[in-house]
């Protein structure tokens, strides 16, 4: 395109140096630009010689009181002088032919530019189409590329989400902390406090103002980050859309109108403490064997082979030394019976990551379905409408390395 613009610029200068030297309006194409500039021709102050045919000699006089007509050298393309009067036509130059020649040059030049721009656009479009086809081929299972999810395999667990025309809303925990990262942070609300209305800020403004330390809302757990990735990747493979939202921005209208996947326990997502549905596995503070208070999972009505409480195992004073965790995968109806709520919550953030992995990896999904299937032999698998699944998570070096089914309860809603 730069080469063609240069050729057009040369043609314009040639035109104004010859038959277009007397034009009042000058069209220029400045260097480095592809937009034409229109301006009035700037005339010199020298008078036009009067020919002998007009009865004069070589004496220079203005014509009809107008500014003298200059030669081609007097034109300065791109300049402007609105106060200069229109020049008379120099004898021997045909204005119509001159203008026609100008428009021929312009038409040819801009035609070339249009062709060049069209070729560039076509090239970009071809490259974009090739890229799209490459991605699509990868999603369709091309060797070494992304493999698609077989929706028939995940239908019992994810069917209600994937059949909806709306994107799935993925909500990640985003609680309020008191203090600072430099001096130490703690949850603004204690683990045994009641739930609260959702929205940002989640706490009443008056309570925040009474706080003696700064209140921040910019942190979430690494398990929630990884969980959001697992879910986004899963929905992409399943050819379904999703979007993410932090819990402090969630509102009750979302819970009524959206299919939602929640990452994180009631320890961070305070609104989960307000849900009206009855649940069998409950997150709450409890005492460990050494008398230390910790956040764990309570099973108020344990069945044969089940424990009454489940706690994370920590091999040292730091919470980063977790070696064993537990997670609950809860499928509940939304506030609107036509909508669904899936809660993926670990005692720690690593357990939340494991729960997200358990419902997005095909092998784990098959394992979950095998334990919850209520369909008769030979019929397609079918899961209860509302349930909670408890899984155990082995952690090594801050990474969940093994996830295993423990038990599940069907909920009566």
Contact 106, 26 (CB under 8 A): no
Give residue 163's pLDDT. 93
- What token pair was written down for 201? 């800020």
Q: How would residue 353 be classed by pLDDT, with cut points 50, 70 and 90?
A: very high
The two tokens of residue 358 are: 């358990």
> Quick one: tokens of 320?
């980063």
Q: What is the pLDDT of residue 104?
A: 66
200: confidence class by pLDDT, cuts 50, 70, 90: very low
pLDDT at 181 over 70: yes
Whose CA is closest to 306, among 409, 395, 412, 411?
Answer: 409
187 with 178: CB under 8 angstroms? yes
**Parallel, antiparallel, or unpaired for β 184-187 and 177-180?**
antiparallel
Q: Cα(194)–Cα(237) distance, rounded to whole angstroms?
A: 39
In this predicted model, what pLDDT tens digit does every residue of 117-143 receive, in sequence order?
565 555 555 555 554 455 445 544 444
Nearest to 36 by CA among 76, 71, 74, 77: 77
Tell me which H or E stretch contains 400. Answer: strand 399-410
Q: What is the pLDDT of residue 137?
A: 52
Residue 44 in this model has a pLDDT that exceeds 60: no
The closest alpha carbon to 149, from 238, 229, 230, 235, belongs to 238
Question: Which pLDDT value is given to residue 278?
Answer: 85
Calpha distance 409→406 (Å, rounded):
11
Name which residue leads in pLDDT, 114 or 333: 333
pLDDT for res 205: 52
* Mean pLDDT value of segment 96-111: 62
Question: What spatial distance separates the first Cα and last Cα of the chain, rounded to whole Å?
Answer: 68
Contacts of 32 (CB under 8 A, 6+ apart): none
pLDDT, tens digit, 9 for 90 and up, residues 238-292: 999 999 999 888 888 888 899 999 999 988 888 888 888 889 999 988 887 777 7
The 3-class SS string of 276-323 reads CCCCCCEEEEEECCCCCEEEEEECCCCCCCCCCEECCEECCCCHHHEE
Q: Which residues contact 151 (CB under 8 A, 6 or more apart)?
A: 158, 159, 162, 238
CA angle 199, 203, 205 (to 5 degrees): 105
- Taken in order 227, 232, 237, 238, the sign of the CA dihedral is positive
Which residues lie below 8 Å from residue 202, measured CB to CB, with a gap of 6+? 175, 176, 196, 247, 248, 270, 271
Query: Which tops the pLDDT comparison, 203 or 9?
Result: 9
**Mean pLDDT over the full length of the chain:** 77
Query: What pLDDT sits at residue 244?
Result: 96
| Cross-sheet strand order for the sheet of 184-187 | 184-187, 177-180, 215-216
pTM value is 0.63
Per-residue pLDDT reduced to its tens digit, 206-242? 555 556 677 888 889 999 999 999 999 999 999 999 9
């Amino acid at each position: 395109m730069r080469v063609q613009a240069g050729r057009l610029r040369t043609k314009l200068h040639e035109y104004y140096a010859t038959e277009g030297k007397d034009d009042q309006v000058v069209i220029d194409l400045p260097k480095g630009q592809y937009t034409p500039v229109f301006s009035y021709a700037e005339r010199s102050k020298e008078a036009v010689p009067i020919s002998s045919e007009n009865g004069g000699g070589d004496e220079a006089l203005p014509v009809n009181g107008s500014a003298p007509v200059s030669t081609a050298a007097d034109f300065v393309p791109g300049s402007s002088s609105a106060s200069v009067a229109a020049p008379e036509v120099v004898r021997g130059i045909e204005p119509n032919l001159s203008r026609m020649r100008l428009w021929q040059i312009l038409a040819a030049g801009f035609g070339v530019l249009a062709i060049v721009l069209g070729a560039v656009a076509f090239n970009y479009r071809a490259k974009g189409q090739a890229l799209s086809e490459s991605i699509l081929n990868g999603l369709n299972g091309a060797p070494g590329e992304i493999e698609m999810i077989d929706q028939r395999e995940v239908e019992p667990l994810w069917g209600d989400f994937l059949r909806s025309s709306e994107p799935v809303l993925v909500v990640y925990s985003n609680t309020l902390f008191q203090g600072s990262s430099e001096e130490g942070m703690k949850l603004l609300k204690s683990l045994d406090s009641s739930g609260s209305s959702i929205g940002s800020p989640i706490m009443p403004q008056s309570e925040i103002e009474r706080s003696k330390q700064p209140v921040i809302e910019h942190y979430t757990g690494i398990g929630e980050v990884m969980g959001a990735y697992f879910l986004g990747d899963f929905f992409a493979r399943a050819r379904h859309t999703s979007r993410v939202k932090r819990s402090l921005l969630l509102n009750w209208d979302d819970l009524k109108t959206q299919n939602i996947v929640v990452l994180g326990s009631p320890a961070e997502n305070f609104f989960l403490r307000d849900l009206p549905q009855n649940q069998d596995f409950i997150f709450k503070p409890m005492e460990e064997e050494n008398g230390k208070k910790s956040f764990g999972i309570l099973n108020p009505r344990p069945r044969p082979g089940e424990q009454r409480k489940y706690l994370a195992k920590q091999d040292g004073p730091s919470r980063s030394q977790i070696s064993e965790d537990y997670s609950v995968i809860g499928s509940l109806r939304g506030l609107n019976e036509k909508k669904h709520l899936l809660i993926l919550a670990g005692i720690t953030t690593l357990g939340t990551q494991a729960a997200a992995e358990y419902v997005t990896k095909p092998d784990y999904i098959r394992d979950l379905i095998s334990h919850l299937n209520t369909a008769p032999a030979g019929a397609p698998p079918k899961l209860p409408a509302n349930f909670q699944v408890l899984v155990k998570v082995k952690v090594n070096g801050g990474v969940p390395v093994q996830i295993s089914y423990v038990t599940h309860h069907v909920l009566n809603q």
